Structure 1
Amino acid sequence: MDQALRDRWLAQADATLSSAGRRAGAARTAIVEWLAREGQCLVTAQDVLDRLPQGSPSSVYRTLDELFALGLLHRFHGQDGVARYEIADPLRHHHHFIDEASGAARPFTDDELERAIEAAARRLGVRLTGHEVVIRGRRSTNGTQS
């Protein structure tokens, strides 16, 4: 866990929720604190429910939707129909590889990919404000992609 990211996101979440007039209840506070620690890369609502037994399904889903709507979470929809979330932080950026055999999601960074995306945005005449890349595939037995 990245402690600086956790602290930065908790401060941002607190400020954003306060300015939106949201009061901090026990369930929301527990979910936000858990996400700051564990939500740095793709977690599901079920992950939250499994680790925070005091949270009801409705409070978990409502909080995730609220945090997403406020721009505090990114949401990714998997081919399995399950939404996955991670905390949104402008100072930290990564992409994801989804292993279709296991369903595991792994973060990755790639400077060459970033340069290609920036070049594509320039060719399109677009001021790039963000992007998401999800690569799906299966790992071969020797560790290379198949």
Structure 2
Amino acid sequence: MSSAERLAKRSEVFFALALVSILAVMIIPLPGSVLSLLLVINLSLSLLVLLVAIYAKEALEFSAFPSLLLVTTLMRLSLNVASTRLILLTGTGGSVIETFGNFVVGGNFIVGVVVFLILLVIQLVVVTKGAGRISEVAARFVLDAMPGKQMAIDADLNAG
């Protein structure tokens, strides 16, 4: 049995190790070079997931998408925590963060503040709309389940 076959049979172990390593990134202070490497890996993985999702002809071809999206989101959040800690502790965030910052704002403080405010508003709207949509779906599930509950109550009452 090859190592790939053993890993396929133990995918839950791989998933658990991935989650533990994501938590470790949030807890353990990382040097700038390691953080830059993890950011490049995360960006590459995100592009790979995007391309696979775009080129999948049917939804069943990429059935692992929800789980993969959850893990990559958790990874990105842990990298955000780690990069924030690194910037606050050392004053630098690694080469990837510095290069991206120079690319986006071009070294101009005012442009950086404006871009930050735009991103802040966009994320606020996305989070607010997402939370509203989640509550709508949850309410719909509750309402859809009510006729079945009512029928069960009626059946219990009729049974005595």
Same fold (TM over 0.5): no
TM-score bracket relative to the smaller structure: under 0.3
* TM-score, normalised with respect to structure 1: 0.26
Hey, which of these two has a bigger chunk of helix by percent?
A: 2
* TM-score, normalised with respect to structure 2: 0.25
